[in-house]
Chains A and B, each alone.
Chain A
Amino acid sequence: MIKDAMNRRQSLKLMGAAGLGTMLSASGLPVFAGGASAGRVVIVGGGFGGATAAKYLKRLSPSLDVTLVEPQPRYITCPFTNLYLGGIRTFETLWHDFTELREKYGVRVVHELAEDVDVDRRRLKLAGGEDVSWDRLLLSPGIDLRWGALEGYDEAAAEKAPHAWKPGEQSRLLRRQLEAMEDGGTFILVAPDNPFRCPPGPYERVSMVANYFKNHKPHSKILILDAKDGFSKQGLFMEGWREHYGDMIEWVGRSNDGGVMRVDADTLEVETEFGTVHKAAVLNVVPPQKAGFIADRAGVIDASGWAPIHARSFESQLVEGIYVIGDATQAAPMPKSGFVASTQAKVTARAIIADLGGDTPPEPSWVNTCYSLIAPEWGISIAGVYEVHDGLIREVPGSGGVSPMEADRSFRRKEAEYARAWYAAITQDVWGTRFAF
Chain B
Amino acid sequence: MRLAQMIKWGASMQQSRKRYIIPVGLLVAGLCLSAGVMIAGMTLAEPENEYEAVIGEAAPEGATPFEQRIQMIAMSCAACHGTDGRLQTAIPLLAAQPAAVMRAQLLAFKQDQMPDATVMPRLAKGYTDEELEALADYFSALSRKANPGSAL
A residues neighboring B (CB under 8 Å): 4-5, 7-8, 11-12, 15, 19-20, 23-24, 27, 29, 31-32, 56, 58-63, 100, 103-106, 339, 342-343, 346-347, 350, 353-354, 357, 359-367, 369, 381, 383-387, 396, 398-401, 403, 411, 414-415, 417-418, 420-422, 424-426, 428-429, 432, 437
Contact = CB atoms under 8 A, between A and B. Distances in A.
B126 A396 contact: yes
Given A24-B23, A429-B78, A103 B58 contact: no
A418 B119 contact: yes
A29 B27 contact: no
Contact of B42 (A19, A63, A353): A19
Contacts of A5: 34
Contact of B34 (A7, A369, A411): A7
B55 A29 contact: no
B89 interface: yes
A32 B26 contact: yes
B5 interface: no
B91 A425 contact: yes
B91 A418 contact: yes
A359 B126 contact: no
Interface stretch (B8-16, B68-76, B96-104, B137-145): B68-76
Which of A32, A104, A437: most chain B Cβ within 10 A?
A: A104
Given A369-B80, A381-B118, A385-B125, A20 B26 contact: yes
Contacts of A398: 125
Contacts of B56: 56, 59-60, 350
Contact of A106 (B31, B35, B65, B90): B31
23 contacts: A8-B34, A19-B42, A31-B23, A31-B26, A59-B54, A62-B51, A104-B52, A346-B76, A353-B58, A362-B68, A365-B126, A366-B76, A385-B123, A386-B126, A398-B125, A399-B123, A400-B125, A400-B126, A401-B122, A414-B118, A424-B87, A425-B78, A429-B83
Nearest to B131: A365
A288 to B, nearest CB: 28
B49 to A, nearest CB: 6
Interface string B59-71: 1000001001101
Contacts of A23: 22, 26, 42
Contact of B79 (A31, A353, A359, A422): A422
Contact of A343 (B51, B76, B118): B76
Contacts of A59: 51-52, 54-56
B150 to A, nearest CB: 8
A4 B83 CA distance: 30
B69 A365 contact: yes
Contacts of A367: 73, 76, 79, 123, 126
A8 B30 contact: yes
A27 B79 contact: no
Interface in B91-144: 91, 116, 118-119, 122-123, 125-127
Label chain A's interface by main secondary structure. Answer: helix
Contacts of B150: 104
B151 interface: yes
A62 B27 contact: yes
A364 B72 contact: yes
Interface string B27-53: 110110111000000100000010110
Nearest to B88: A437
Contacts of B80: 369, 418, 421-422, 425-426
B122 A429 contact: no
A187 B35 CA distance: 54
Given A339-B79, A366-B76, 11 more contacts: A24-B26, A104-B151, A105-B49, A353-B58, A361-B68, A364-B72, A365-B127, A387-B126, A421-B89, A425-B79, A429-B82
A100 B118 CA distance: 32
Nearest to B128: A396
A400 B118 contact: no
B79 A399 contact: no
B125 A399 contact: yes
B126 to A, nearest CB: 2
Contact of A418 (B31, B54, B71, B118): B118
Nearest to A419: B90
B80 to A, nearest CB: 5
B72 A428 contact: no
A346 B55 CA distance: 12
A358 B88 CA distance: 38
A400 B123 CA distance: 6
A347 B83 contact: no
A6 to B, nearest CB: 9
Given A343-B79, A399-B125, A399-B126, A12 B30 contact: yes
Contacts of B78: 425, 429
A432 B118 contact: no
B23 A359 contact: no
Contacts of B26: 20, 23-24, 31-32, 63
A425 B86 CA distance: 10
Contacts of A31: 23, 26-27
